[in-house]
Structure 1
Amino acid sequence: MNQRVLQVLEYNKIIDKLIEQAETSIGKEETSRVVPEIELSKVNVLQEETDEAVQILRLNKAIPFGGIRDVRESLKRSVIGGVLTASECLDIANTVYGGRQVKNFITGLEEELPILKDLVDDIASLRELEQAIRRCIDDNGEVLDNASSKLRSIRSQIRAFEANVREKLESYTRSHSKMLSDAIVTIRNDRYVLPVKQEYRAQIGGIVHDQSSSGQTLFMEPRAVVDLNNKLQQAVLNERQEIERILSELSVQIAEVEHALTYNLDILAKIDVIHARAKLAMKMKASKPTMNDSGVIKMKQARHPLIPEDEVVANDIEIGEDYTAIVITGPNTGGKTVTLKMVGLCTLMAQSGLQIPAFDDCQLAVFEEVFADIGDEQSIEQNLSTFSSHMKNIVSIMEHVNEKSLVLFDELGSGTDPSEGAALAMAILDEVIDRKARVIATTHYPELKAYGYNRENVVNASVEFDVESLQPTYRLLIGVPGRSNAFDISRRLGLRPEIIDYAKSLVGVDSKSVENMIASLEKSKIAAERQYEEAYQTLLESERLRKEIEKEWQTFEQKKAELFRKAEEKAEKALIQAREEAEIIVNEIRQMKNNTALKEHEWIEAKKMLEEAQPHLNKKSKATSENQNDEKGSLTPGDEIKLLTVNQQGVVLEKLSDSEYLIQVGIMKVKAKRKDLQYIGKQKLETERVVTTIRGSSHRVKTELDLRGERYEDAIHLLEKYIDDCLIAGYSQVTIIHGKGTGALRTGVQTFVKNHPAISSARPGGSGEGGSGVTVLELK
């Protein structure tokens, strides 16, 4: 892409904004090299990359780039045998860790992100190298004592020598304090010294390493510590050598994986660029364009990306299908040049993988070249006039333009005689259109207003001007040429009406007709756009309501499904409990058969009755067929019904509509459709149901309860349930066996008996009943 065009359209400012969004130094460097692509397949991949990163940001998540450094120079030095510093090794470990964090983050996302996930799959883990570095170097970039046993031993010696030296020197500070400028131990030339007064130099004795600016204080190393200082310095030297050896080993390990590390950095830089493109898209409230190679541009409410959002005026722009050229006319400072730059800059952004500030479903074309002749490039040094400078640029454009070009002309043909300039502008436009390029041109020439009506592939456009406020609105009107507002503006500014009327009389009839036609077109265009905006807002509101209704319906369906699921679970539990109870009954009947002279036909009849008494969960298909036999239409409150979806009986509480009822099934009140209800009959008396229950339960409850061996709490719980069962069974007297023991269980039973409303009296057992080990209860 032509560098001059990138500068004219201010593409570099977009790149500067993009660099600000990058998180890492390698990402910023890679971002600075971003240029528009000219192959549709590559541009589509770039747009898909950006869209995947935008999906992540919409989830209020961000790719973690912490710790990643540009370590490429360190890697190169390690390969040629250089020894890296501890901080360089630490940067490499942090970069390895950061790369692994990026990989884990993107891999762990549930969203479909094929491009990003494919990218991070190639990031090498290199966990062993990171662990090797962190075993030797701490987070501050210092080599650890545990990096080697030798280093640990040397540092132990250093600490011992330092302690001895300090101890001796501190004894000097106590015993020779009058000879010292200050009673402290300090360091000069890496050796421990004392600040000695000049006049006591001989008394202290030793080596002078430095002196104060006044010369009154000498920093001396007493003879008594010279040997210890020498040993300390040797230990320090040994420490440096051992650290050098450790770093050398780490550098060798780093060099061995230099290729993998460099590849990791390339991937991380690319991901950072993608992430930066997504962040810029979110900041600009941009959308993903659909790219094509057929020269079609369709943008709804597109904004210039470099103008603040509260100042920019959004416009619709379309070119490439019904027409391939747009000629924009209108007043100066009306927004013509901004429109040209907006189209060109959005095209370059899209071809760079950036989303564009426009509504969704926009389309942009991939061009091999974008040409622009915008602005006054008059050069005094080259002795070029405005016209000459423009023409020189146009000549260069005409040499390269083809069907894969977007051409932007600002004030085409200006700077010379109007008639000649207009003719030259039409000739240039004809040539560019014949080469099938896409062209947008701005002009002041009235002759070009008719140009769009006389050419098949050309459409007129204008920028709107508000005569009342004498200000441009910056709105682009496609299909309406700009008209002269000189008379209206003059009237608003106070020019006398008779002068204006006389001026109008001097204008030709044809010119008046054209101006009237333009005014009518402009009025119709504005009205149509206003209606379109109202319709669009109505569409948005309808779409919002539709989504809300769908969401509410989905919530309703989920609640409905949850209620049915709970009902089915409850029915299933009831079935399991019934089967367990049935097993107990069967076992008891079998024992009766073995122990008594029960007749075989009586056994078979009892078994049949038992099977009929068990609840069964029928399938929905069976329930539906049963419902077809339901002859009653409308139900009334009090009717007994069967809820076919869970095969449970209930009663109708309220009729909600012709097809929906409020029913009670067990303890649950639910709404049900008529088709799911089978009419059984009128509600039976409560006493009848109780009698039926008693008849079915009495033979299973014994007249005595043995609580011996039970824990106190469990025994009281069993007793409470047993009393309820006996009341249902209709027993008047029962025996509770609690044993004698410590008497705690007997006391608990007696306390329970006193507080139970259904027990009329209680007495200890008689001599033949178990004595004090039992309690006989009389039930109401």
Structure 2
Amino acid sequence: MNSKILKTLEYGKIRSALQGLVNTAAGTDLVAKMQPSSDPDAVQTALDETADGASILRLAGGIPVPQLENIDPALRRVDIGAMLNGRELAAIGRVLKTVSAVDKFLNDLNERLELRRVYDLQQQLTALPALERRLGTAVDEDGSLTDEASPELHGIRQAVKNLEGEIRSRMENYTHGSSSKYLSDPIITIRDDRYVIPVKAEYRGQFGGVVHDQSASGQTLFIEPQAIVEMNNRLRQAQLEEQAEIERLLAELTNEVAPYTRELRNNNQVLGHFDFINAKARYAKNIKATEPEVSAENHVDLIEARHPLIDRHKVVANTITLGADYQAIVVTGPNTGGKTITLKTLGLLQLMGQSGLFIPAEAGSVIGVYSNVFADIGDEQSIEQSLSTFSAHMKTIVEILDAMDDHALILFDELGAGTDPQEGAALAIAILDAVGAAGAQVVASTHYPELKLYGYNTPGTINASMEFDAATLQPTYRLLIGVPGRSNAFDISQRLGLDPTIVTAAKSLIADDSHELNNMISDLEAQRKAAETEYLETRHQLKEAQDLHDQLQKAYEEFFQERERQMDAAKDRANEIVDKAQTKAGKIVKNLRQMQLQSGTNVKENQLIEATTELKNLHQEKAKPKNRILRQAKNKQALHRGDTVKVLAYDQTGELLKQVDDKHWEVQVGIMRMTLATNEIEKVQPEKSQTPKRRVTVVKGATGPSTKLDLRGQRYEEAMTNLDQYIDAALLAGYAQVTIVHGLGTGAIRNGVTQYLQRNRQVKKFGFAPQNAGGSGATIVQFK
């Protein structure tokens, strides 16, 4: 990929964003070397790695790669026989610890997450447990050797410590005793690695010994008392022995590292690769990017694509398609309408995708794999080279035409601008013809109306424009593919107050074919807006239908599962009853046989009857449904002598005197007696006295689940299922608060619990338990 396009499209800012997300020197080097690739297999491999990183980041917070220094210089020194210092050995030890930690992390992850590439990279790691333990025991994080590095070093340091204690104890006699009056300050200090005391110059003869230093004024001498000289000599000797032992140990540890420089160098690179994958995943999360599909035919379909370097809350997303139905797009429209940023968005997202990065576009977007991306964007006029704007553009275009091939993507901004409009339009058309003949894909922005007709008449070419809102006189920055842009100069001028006669005069100077073109564009815009409205309405209806279908499908599955569960439960109950019945029947038959054997005669008739009765009693009759409400309602409608009824034909009430037959009653209505059919009268309920009743609340004993759920030791999917069922049970039981015990572990189940509780609308709040109740290994949940 040519370096000029990387600068033009600000690819370096993408690299800078990634640099802030890596932890290792090797990862930093990989980011610096990151380049778009023209190999489809390499592009797909890099995207697979980013997808793995995104999955691990979402589920487990990323691959655990801490900050690591570059150990390559140290390993090169080992290869030439040099001795490593403590800091270099500590850095190698950290790499080995990280290898073990990452290997264990990925082994645990392998049980619950399927990845595309990371497990293959894991196989390239080489664990060196013996060397890791040796360096971990002998070298501290800051590079100093520990007392456990060797028994000799431990003994020497103990002797040094004892000697220092003796010297300080001895010298405290000078600082706290009667001799303190001869001191400038009652302190013990060090000069030339020897313990001394600050003595006033006039009392230098009081202590004897050696003067090691004096103050700037000469009033204070730093003297090593004669009584301490021998002890300081022994301390210095012990310190030299310590240094010699340290040098010996550093050489020994370097020799232990030497056989594994190749493995260590490879481990360093693999950990850097993991760090690079982490950074790509984090960057994708930061800009809300998704994984694009890769088209071998260079069919580009960027859905709701956003420029990654513009605030995503402000940038306008556009859908850009190229390569399938057309290989050239001619974009027209007013200045500041968004043409340039649209070209840059297409180019930069292609560079990102071909570098293995996710792109800021909706899921399902497709990128191509171009052999090269070229762009003529911006004003590159140069005073030093005496290049005008047109000359600078033309120089760049010539370079592009010489270097392009049939798998290239070319972006032209304001093609043909900077010269006579008629000649510029002709040059632009000729350049687009040359690009089309070469088979490259091209997107060009222009102001020339001639190119609108070119886009309409040329096969494989389509017009596009940046939408302009004539009502507000503002661009919307939306790309409209299939609709050429039209001039809004007349409308804008008239809205801004220009005399209508002047506008009319200007319109009369425009050729008829230009008016027809503008009218055609207006009609296309109206049709597009109508189609867009209809499309959005159809999408809304389709979504509602899909939601309803999903709900019905879920309800059907739940019904089917419940039916199967009830059937299984009924079968289990039936089998249990049959087993009990068979056991009882067996006992009865056994008793009959024993009676027959004991009596020696046939069993008596009454005994057989009793046994038969016992067997019949084994049959459990189903309880008849007691529809008390239905029976009560029926009783209320039953007619009895003396009941008050309503005569339906006359809408009058009367009293039942007697029942004539099954279907007729004699009724007294006022002073009249009449015989009426049962279906002609209706019983009227007497009004009840409005005596207030006392409400009685019956509280039944209930049992529910425990207020604590323990998920430790469970697999992730099992834990999430049990959590969902337990929360439902706790809500049904009316609990106000429960405790979820998930432990620490890798944090996967804890993260899953947190995500589930955040989604559950019945949860009021939740947080980690107090330290004496489990701390971050348990979560307390309060319900609404």
Alignment TM-score > 0.5, same fold: yes
Mapped pair 1:486 → 2:489: yes
Q: How many angstroms apart in 2 are the aligned matches of 1:586 and 1:147?
A: 85
The reply to whether residue 506 of structure 1 matches residue 509 of structure 2 is: yes
Q: Distance in 2 between the 1:333 and 1:380 partners?
A: 26
Equivalent residue for 1:701? Answer: none
What residue in structure 2 maps to residue 165 of structure 1?
Answer: 167
1:496 to 499, 524, 527: 499
Instruction: Give me the whole-angstrom Cα distance separating, in 1, the residues matched to 2:41 and 2:129.
Output: 36
For residue 208 of structure 1, report the CA deviation from its aligned partner.
1.1
Is this contact kept in 2: 1:72–1:262, CA < 8 A? yes
Give the residue type in structure 2 aligned to 1:154: I
| CA distance, structure 1, for counterparts of residue 626 and residue 271 of structure 2 | 67
1:391-446 per-residue CA deviation (whole Å, 9 max, x = no partner) reads 11111111122210101111111111110110011001011011111010000111
**Contact 2:411/2:444 (<8 A) preserved:** yes
Distance 1:500 1:103, change over 3 A: same
How far does residue 317 in structure 1 lie from its aligned partner after superposition?
1.3
Q: Is the 8 A contact 2:585 2:615 kept in 1?
A: no
**Cα 1:67–1:441, aligned 2, differ >3 Å: closer, same or farther?**
closer
How has the CA–CA distance of structure 1 residues 233 and 545 changed in structure 2, closer, same or farther, with 3 Å as cutoff? farther
1: CA distance, partners of 2:555 / 2:255: 64
Structure 2, unpaired ranges of 5+: 629-784
Indicate the residue corresponding to 2:82 in structure 1: 82
* Aligned twin of 2:156: 154
Contact 1:154 1:239 in 2 (8 A): yes
Number of the residue aligned with 1:118: 120
> Which of 225, 229, 243 is the equivalent residue of 1:226?
229
TM-score, with length taken from structure 2: 0.74
Alpha carbons of 1:431 and 1:212: their partners in 2 closer, same or farther (altered >3 Å)? same
Q: CA RMSD in A?
A: 3.0
Alpha-carbon distance, 1:140 to partner: 4.8
Q: Determine if the alignment matches structure 1 residue 449 to structure 2 residue 452.
A: yes
**Separation in structure 2 between the aligned mates of residue 611 and residue 118 of structure 1, nearest angstrom:** 73
SS at match of 1:192: strand
2-side partners of 1:300 and 1:592: how far apart? 90
The equivalent residue for 1:399 is 402
SS in 2 for 1:218: strand
How do residues 143-222 of structure 1 correspond to structure 2 at under 5 angstroms? Answer: 143-173=145-175, 174-222=177-225
Give the Cα separation in 1 of the matches to 2:414 and 2:286: 33
The alpha-carbon distance between structure 1 residues 448 and 71, as it changes in their structure 2 partners (threshold 3 A), is: same
User: Which of these residues, 264, 275, 280, is aligned with residue 277 of structure 1?
Assistant: 280
Q: Which of 327, 330, 339 pairs up with 2:330?
A: 327
How far, CA to CA, are the matches of 1:611 and 1:260 in structure 2? 84
Task: Kindly indicate whether the alpha-carbon contact (under 8 Å) linking 1:290 and 1:364 is maintained by their aligned counterparts in 2.
Answer: yes
SS where residue 162 of structure 1 aligns?
helix
Distance (Å, rounded) in 2 between the aligned partners of 1:20 and 1:44: 24
Give the Cα–Cα distance (whole angstroms) in 2 for the partners of residues 24 and 582 of structure 1.
Answer: 79
Superposition deviation, residue 584 in structure 1? 6.9
The 1:42/1:610 distance shift into structure 2, 3 A limit, reads farther
Equivalent of 2:470 in 464, 467, 470: 467
Once the two structures are superposed, what CA deviation does each residue of 1:508-536 show, in whole Å capped at 9, x if it has no partner?
21111111111111121223223333433
CA distance in 2, matches of 1:40, 1:309: 29
Matched with 1:71 is: 71
Distance 1:590 1:339 in 2: 99
3-state SS of 2:466 partner: strand
Name the SS of the counterpart of 1:114 in structure 2. Answer: coil
Match of 1:23, SS state, is coil
Which stretch shifts more, 566-575 or 148-157? 566-575
CA distance in 2, matches of 1:331, 1:438: 24
Give the direction of change, closer, same or farther, for the CA distance of 1:156–1:596 in structure 2 (3 Å limit): farther
Does the CA-based 8 Å contact 2:401-2:435 persist in structure 1?
yes
Q: Match for residue 51 of structure 1? A: 51
Separation of aligned partners in 2, 1:183 and 1:564: 94
Match runs of 1:282-681 below 5 Å: 282-540=285-543, 542-543=545-546, 546-547=549-550, 550=553, 597=600
Partners in 2 of 1:271 and 1:328 — Cα distance?
42
Cα 1:569/1:76, change in 2 over 3 Å? farther
SS class of match (2:331): strand
Other structure's SS at 1:45 match: helix
Match of 1:773 in 2: none
**Can you list the C-alpha shifts for 1:118-168, whole angstroms capped at 9, x where unaligned?**
111221121211111122234454322222111121122112211221122
Question: Match of 2:135, as an amino acid?
Answer: I
Q: Distance in 1 between matches of 2:591 and 2:600?
A: 14
Cα distance between partner residues in 2 of 1:654 and 1:393: 92
Quick one: distance in 2 between partners of 1:610 and 1:596? 22
**1:436-478 CA distances to partner (integer Å, 9 max, x unpaired)?**
1101000011111111122111111111111222211111111
Asked if structure 2 preserves the Cα contact closer than 8 Å seen for 1:197 and 1:216, the reply is yes
Q: Distance in 2 between matches of 1:449 and 1:257?
A: 67
1:46 Cα deviation after fit: 1.5
Query: What are the equivalent positions in structure 2 for 1:695-706 lying under 5 Å apart?
Result: none
Question: Could you say which residue in structure 2 is the equivalent of 1:676?
Answer: none
CA distance in 2, matches of 1:540, 1:60: 33
- Contact 1:408-1:440 at 8 Å conserved across structures: yes
3-state DSSP of counterpart to 2:20: helix
Q: For 1:21 and 1:611, how far apart are their aligned partners in 2?
A: 82
Alpha-carbon deviation of 1:22? 2.3
In structure 2, the CA distance between the partners of 1:77 and 1:601, relative to structure 1 (3 Å rule), is farther
Aligned-pair identity (%): 45
- 1:245 equivalent in structure 2: 248
Give the TM-score, by structure 1 length.
0.75
Q: Across the two proteins, how many residue pairs are aligned to each other? A: 624
Who is 1:128 aligned against? Answer: 130
For residues 489 and 374 of structure 2, what CA distance do their matches in structure 1 show?
Answer: 33
Residue identity matched to 2:73: E
- SS of the counterpart of 1:208? strand
Aligned AA (1:130) = E
